[in-house]
Copies of this chain bind each other. A is one copy, B any other.
């Protein structure tokens, strides 16, 4: 198996002049930190964002990443227990890799969503946008996938 993976690695490095790492290189001690917003309830877009998270973690290795997803406005539907069972499964699977999911309290008040409507382990903050801001100031890279 290891040999096959190595072969794939060699082959893919022949095809791609790949992304150059910035310093310090990603490692357990220097994980890459990202914060992604989900702001719309468009299943295709939500799935695209979750796939992007997957791609990022596959590329760096889950142990070398810290991923935070902040859901607000209609994007909060992503974190509801009863909305879309496929998306729910993907979210729960990412949670097992320590991806943090955060819901916007302002949005919850506006859309009359209760904490118990959210998936277990979702954190709630007062304002999703504030979370995006403070995470950036803490060195997280903000990407809208």
Contacts and interface: CB of A to CB of B under 8 A. Distances in A.
A106 to B, nearest CB: 5
Nearest to A145: B129
Contact of A55 (B21, B32, B56, B127): B127
Interface in A21-69: 21-22, 32, 34, 39, 48, 52, 55-56, 59-60
Kindly state the interface size class of chain A when it binds its partner.
Answer: 35 or more
Chain B CB within 10 A, most for which of A115, A133, A141, A144 = A133
A115 B19 contact: no
A76 interface: no
Chain B CB within 10 A, most for which of A15, A55, A56, A60 = A55
